[in-house]
Amino acid sequence: MKTRLKLKPGQKGTMKHLAEYGDLLVCVRYRYDAERRKRFKTVEIIVDEKEWTPPPPRFADNARVPVRIAFPEEELKVKAKAAGGRWDPKAKLWFVPFGKIKGGILERHIVLDVPPKSAEKRKASNIKDVPGI
């Protein structure tokens, strides 16, 4: 099914549901099923409310985060450089201050599984200690 229309409370097409659900109404959607040739009208309502503490941010704004940008993506490279990013040829990653890319397209390119440099050094030294290598 495809959703073609999403209406906010108060827009035309939501008044009946707004009268029924009031402030609990989040939105009204019109969904279409081409196979069955049907249109469905759905409502999203709030059914529960609790106190919630958001988790701490994953990165501090001044922390440099690793960002993977494919070779042909020139526009993203320009954005990384404009945000103060630096290219690391050994890691083949850009390192950019998180606060400069937060909420932007580059945030989706952050690499989460890059070990810190000290861990890389430890791994290299452990390999040397293993007999037979």
pLDDT of residue 1: 84
Nearest-10 Cα torsion for 57, 60, 64, 67: 20
pLDDT of residue 133: 43
pLDDT of residue 114: 72
Cα Rg of the chain (Å, integer): 25
C-beta separation of 67 from 80 below 8 A? yes
C-beta separation of 14 from 8 below 8 A? yes
C-beta separation of 97 from 83 below 8 A? yes
Q: Global pTM?
A: 0.51
Dihedral sign of CA atoms 35, 44, 14, 9 in order: negative
**What is the mean pLDDT of each successive set of 10 residues along the chain, which is 133 residues long?**
92 94 96 94 95 90 92 93 93 93 91 64 44 44
